[in-house]
Structure 1
Amino acid sequence: MKEKLQYFPITTYAIVMGLSGLTIVFGKFYHMQWLPRIFYDLFLFLTLGLFLFISVMYGLKAMNHFEEVVKDFNHRIRINFFSAISISFLLLSVAFMTYWPFLSMAFWWVGLILHTILMLYTISFWIRHNFEIHFMNPAWFIPVVGNIIIPVAGVDYLPKAFSFFYFSVGFFFWIILFAIFLNRAIFHHQLPQKFIPTLFILIAPPAVGFIAYIRIAQSWDTFAVFMLFMAYFFVALLIFLYRSFAKLTFFLSWWAFTFPLMAVTLASIVAFQISHQPFYRGVSFILLVVDIFTVVFVTGHTIGKIREGEICVNED
């Protein structure tokens, strides 16, 4: 047990991100009167319980094996996953907005402060170290493009100008990092198997960006449609890349499938709320089925790997 705790991975927070996304989807379906409330309530507290469990476990790791946490924090790839902690707070804030606004605000403030610190530290870490191009993968999007999530609940807690700041930073780095990633993907060696599922992260920036922009600007305009259709484009692209996923060995990075799919589902629901076009409602239901299948699929594999003792192991 002590050895398992020593190697408890920071990437487990990706599970919280995925389940938080599904919780928010169930919440939106409930408020649209498309599903009963039970699914929303069940996943809301399941996700909160899992978040608390993972946080306690990683806290115990920090107390008993602090050198391993420092090692993770100075790792060229794993450092990006620390921002999954702050994003988990921000997503739980969105999930609790209509259920318990006070707790939502508390989660949002913690997530905001923590994410700002982690984002600035990670960018400074990138600048201070020399990186070869093969270190680049979509997990780099998490610390900086994660800023786009802040306005989703933030417009209710601070003036819109504040939300525009984080939206602008996230959008800017989405463009920059995507150009770097495209260069790495086309002109250099293929991604290692472990990181191929993180390609789904490419869906999240335009999908969450669309939701955040609607929340800030309250405008169904050309830019909003641009963001939404870019999210749909990446979904279509990943469908054409299905052969890259066919024979992968399971890693926790498979949870990268989940949150981006939830994000584009939520974007479709918001698009229907604004435009009332049946197309977006149809896409929302199709994506919900995909979301549920994906979560069931990766949950089954995760439980299987836990039983086999292959999760909390030395990854170096």
Structure 2
Amino acid sequence: MKEKLKYFPITAFAIIMGLAGLSIVFAKFYHMQWLPKIFYEVLLFTSFVLFLGISFLYGLKAVKHFEQVKIDFNHRIRINFFSAFSISILLLSIAFMNFWPFLSMVFWWTGTIVHTLFMMYTIAYWIQNNIEIKFMNPAWFIPIVGNMLIPIAGVEYMPKAFSFFYFALGLFFWMILFTIFLNRAIFHNQLPQKFVPTLFILIAPPAIGFISYIRIMQSWDTFAVFLLFIAYFFVALLLVLHKSFEKLEFFISWWAFTFPLMAITIASVVAFQITHENIYKYLSFFFITIAIATISFVAWKTIGKIRKGEICVNED
């Protein structure tokens, strides 16, 4: 048990990203009167309880195996997943926004402060270390995506200028990192099998950026449509690349591609709310079906890995 705790993965917070994201999807579908409220409430508190459990286990690891946490925090890949912790808090803030506003505000302030610290440290780490291009993968987008999540609930708790700062920061680094990733994908070695599912993260920045922009500006304009359609493009691109996902060995990093599916689902619902064009409604139902199927499959695979004792192991 001690050995398992030592290697408890920071990537486990990607599970909360997926489940909390799905609870927000259920909340949107409830508000549209497309689903009963029970789905939202059950998953909301399931996500919250799992978040507390994973946080407790990683906190216990920090107490008993602090040197291993330091190794994680200075690892060229795992460092990006520390932001999954702060993003989980921000997602719970959004999920609780209408159910329990005070708790939502507490989560938002906590998530914003913690994410800002992780984001600044991660960017400093990128600058101060000579990281080879082969280690660049879509997981690098995780610290950036969190910036675009902050305005979604943040417009309720702070002036819009505060939210726009984080939106601008996320947009700026998304464009830079995507350029680097495209260079790495085209002109260098293929992604390791373990990180192929993280390609789904490419959907998240424009999808969340669209939602965030709508929350800040309250405007269906050219830039909003640009962000939404770029997100749809990445969905289409991943469908074309479907053969890359065949016969992959399961890793807990697979949870990284569940959250972007929730983001594009919510973006489609928001687009329908604004335009009332049925195409977005149909896309919303299409994406939620894919999202539920994906979450169910990844959860089943994760449970299987836990039973076999293959989760908390040395990944180096």
TM range (shorter): over 0.9
* SS of the residue 1:156 aligns to: helix
Whole-Å separation in 2 of the counterparts to 1:202 and 1:285: 21
* SS of the residue 1:19 aligns to: helix
Whether contact under 8 Å (1:145, 1:173) holds in the other structure is no
* SS of the residue 2:81 aligns to: helix
Q: Determine whether 1:12 maps to 2:12.
A: yes
**Residue of structure 2 equivalent to 1:221:** 221
AA aligned to 1:133 is: I
**Residue of structure 1 equivalent to 2:306:** 306
Q: Determine whether 1:95 maps to 2:102.
A: no
Q: Determine whether 1:264 maps to 2:264.
A: yes
Whole-Å separation in 2 of the counterparts to 1:133 and 1:34: 45
Deviations, residues 26-48 of structure 1 (Å, cap 9, x unaligned): 00000110000110000000000
Q: Determine whether 1:202 maps to 2:202.
A: yes
**Residue of structure 1 equivalent to 2:79:** 79
AA aligned to 1:277 is: E
Whole-Å separation in 2 of the counterparts to 1:236 and 1:249: 23
> TM-score, normalising length from structure 1?
1.00
**Residue of structure 2 equivalent to 1:280:** 280
Whole-Å separation in 2 of the counterparts to 1:106 and 1:211: 21
Whole-Å separation in 1 of the counterparts to 2:287 and 2:79: 31
Whole-Å separation in 2 of the counterparts to 1:245 and 1:145: 23
AA aligned to 2:270 is: V
**Residue of structure 1 equivalent to 2:177:** 177
Whole-Å separation in 2 of the counterparts to 1:117 and 1:130: 21
**Residue of structure 1 equivalent to 2:232:** 232
Deviations, residues 268-292 of structure 1 (Å, cap 9, x unaligned): 0000000000000000001111010
Deviation at 1:144, TM superposition (A): 2.2
Residues matched between the structures, number: 316
Whole-Å separation in 2 of the counterparts to 1:289 and 1:168: 32
Mapping 1:184-199, distance limit 5 Å: 184-199=184-199
* SS of the residue 2:156 aligns to: coil
AA aligned to 1:97 is: M
Whether contact under 8 Å (1:145, 1:169) holds in the other structure is no
Whole-Å separation in 2 of the counterparts to 1:87 and 1:295: 18
Deviation at 1:145, TM superposition (A): 3.1
Whole-Å separation in 2 of the counterparts to 1:288 and 1:80: 27
Whole-Å separation in 2 of the counterparts to 1:235 and 1:253: 19
Q: Determine whether 1:61 maps to 2:61.
A: yes
Whole-Å separation in 2 of the counterparts to 1:305 and 1:86: 25
> TM-score, normalising length from structure 2?
1.00
Q: Identity, % of aligned pairs?
A: 72
Deviation at 1:170, TM superposition (A): 0.1
Deviation at 1:257, TM superposition (A): 1.7
Deviations, residues 201-245 of structure 1 (Å, cap 9, x unaligned): 000000000000000000000000000000000000000000000
AA aligned to 1:293 is: A
* SS of the residue 2:90 aligns to: helix
Whether contact under 8 Å (1:198, 1:257) holds in the other structure is yes
* SS of the residue 1:94 aligns to: helix
Deviation at 1:146, TM superposition (A): 1.9
Deviation at 1:122, TM superposition (A): 0.6
Whole-Å separation in 2 of the counterparts to 1:257 and 1:89: 18
Whole-Å separation in 2 of the counterparts to 1:289 and 1:122: 34
Whether contact under 8 Å (2:145, 2:208) holds in the other structure is no
Whether contact under 8 Å (1:10, 1:78) holds in the other structure is yes
Whether contact under 8 Å (1:93, 1:108) holds in the other structure is yes
Unaligned runs of 5+ in 2: none
